[in-house]
Amino acid sequence: MKEGEAGLDSARNIDSELKNRFKFAAGLTGVVFLAELAGGYATNSLALISDAMHVFMDLLALCLSFFAIYVSALAPTGKRTYGLHRVEVFASFINGVTLVIVSLFIFYAAYSRFLNPPEVGSLGMLAIAAVGLVANIVVALWLRAFARADLNVKSAFFHVIWDAVASAGVILAAVIIYFSKLYVFDPLLSAGIAVMVLYGSSRIVLDSSHILLEGVPKDIDLTRVVNDMTGIEGVEGVHSLHIWSICHNINALSAHLDIDVRSTGRSAEILKKVNEGLAERHHIF
């Protein structure tokens, strides 16, 4: 087997392994979401329902990460020359808006319960939150190896870590409620989790809308890009520069280069150097 073929097979094996891990993580997270949602209604715990919404954010992150891996392998078509990457961004925007609305509803429900806290089944609340915590730890360990090298996986990994923190908070609240009968801790914790959901979902909405509106990627400095391009021998100037994101991890650029008259015969070589510099320094491919 040739060296290139061996490398391609290795990349395919890694991609297949990553997809399998995402499937497992998304499946387990989905079970936890349903369990916490049902458990929240069964135990009358708004904190559990709030944490279920936070778990849903994790499920969304995992599904979008898996979807990003899937669509990146699809070839562009004559009608969709960039492929289907924007579907991921559009789904992020819709789900982000939905979660913002849900978090505001949780705030309203928490305020109502704070004024007159109802009784909560603390033992059931404790048991379900413990299952959620264990599941989050398992998913985090399952994704950790890939999170070091893949930004897409890293994002999903940290979503799961934060939900583990929220589940630990629900466990603590359940213990306090069990011994003190201070049911006010349930709406207090649910409001705290709602803050996390609102913060996370607002970032999703802002980031996805920035991409949909074709804004310059936040990690790219236009001045540095221009300086790097004009720093290449033969490039006299850059104009009509546009930089945008196709999706969360793919950036694109279009520009007109003014080539020195004496270097016009080296246009292909200059263009190659420009593209290599953009990819290396700014992750524009």
**Mean pLDDT computed over every residue of the chain:** 84
Instruction: Say what the pLDDT of residue 3 is.
Output: 43
CA-to-CA dists, residue 42 to 16, 49, 106, 168, 210, angstroms = 39, 10, 17, 20, 40
Instruction: Say what the pLDDT of residue 249 is.
Output: 74
- 222-282 folds as Alpha-Beta Plaits (3.30.70)
Q: 205 with 224: CB under 8 angstroms? A: no
Percent of the chain clearing pLDDT 70 (strictly above):
90
pLDDT digits (tens, 9 = 90+) for 115-139: 888 999 999 999 999 999 999 888 8
pLDDT digits (tens, 9 = 90+) for 64-99: 777 777 776 777 888 888 777 787 788 778 878 888
- C-alpha 225/C-alpha 222 separation (Å) is 5
Instruction: Say what the pLDDT of residue 40 is.
Output: 92
- 79 in helix, strand or coil? coil
Instruction: Say what the pLDDT of residue 6 is.
Output: 40
Percent of the chain clearing pLDDT 90 (strictly above):
38
pLDDT for 183 beyond 70: yes
Instruction: Say what the pLDDT of residue 59 is.
Output: 85
User: Global pTM?
Assistant: 0.75
1.10.1040.10, 1.20.1510.10, 1.10.760.10, 1.10.490.130: CATH of 3-212: 1.20.1510.10
CB neighbour list of residue 279: distance below 8 Å, 6 or more residues apart: 285
- C-alpha 193/C-alpha 40 separation (Å) is 14
Instruction: Say what the pLDDT of residue 33 is.
Output: 92
Instruction: Say what the pLDDT of residue 72 is.
Output: 66
Q: How many CB atoms lie within 10 A of CB 41?
A: 13
Where along the chain do its domains lie? 3-212, 222-282
Angle at 55 between CA 53 and CA 60, to 5 degrees: 95
Instruction: Say what the pLDDT of residue 123 is.
Output: 92
Instruction: Say what the pLDDT of residue 186 is.
Output: 93
pLDDT digits (tens, 9 = 90+) for 204-235: 889 889 999 999 998 899 999 999 999 999 99
Q: 244 with 217: CB under 8 angstroms? A: yes
